[in-house]
């Protein structure tokens, strides 16, 4: 994934052309007063990056659950679910 650093002023002047480069997979880093301010990327890349981040977050949470003994055997989980569903069905 490549990136291009440009000023906000330059982006405003050439927005259409520069947005095309994001569709080709390039990220734009916009600067304001010489400092990085905003990243512009195409929506598909954003969604893929977001999904990857969420998956990584779930993996980290799962690892923490294992380390802190917050897990149950699969059989117990399904038995608990069945019991819960039966109890709920009995109330209706």
pLDDT band for position 92 (cuts 50, 70, 90): confident
* The predicted structure's pLDDT at residue 91: 81
**Rounded average pLDDT over 3-24:** 94
- By the 10 Å C-beta count (0-12 exposed, 13-18 middle, 19+ buried), 4 is classed as middle
82's tokens: 């069945």
- Domain segments of the chain: what residues? 3-41, 45-80
pTM for the complete prediction?
0.67
pLDDT digits (tens, 9 = 90+) for 37-80: 999 999 999 999 999 999 999 999 999 999 999 999 999 999 99
Beta bridge partners of 28: 4, 40
| 8 Å CB contact between 3 and 24 | no
Residue 35 reports pLDDT greater than 90: yes
56's tokens: 């990584």
What CATH number labels 3-41?
A: 3.40.1620
Distance CA 91, CA 25 (A): 55
């Amino acid at each position: 994934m490549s990136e291009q650093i440009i000023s906000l002023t330059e982006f405003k002047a050439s927005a259409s052309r520069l947005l095309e480069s994001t569709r080709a997979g390039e990220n734009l880093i916009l600067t304001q007063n010489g400092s990085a301010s905003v990243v512009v990327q195409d929506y598909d890349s954003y969604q893929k990056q977001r999904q990857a981040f969420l998956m990584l977050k779930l993996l980290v949470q799962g690892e923490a659950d294992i380390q802190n003994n917050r897990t149950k055997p699969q059989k117990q989980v399904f038995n608990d679910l069945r019991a819960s569903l039966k109890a709920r069905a009995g109330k209706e």
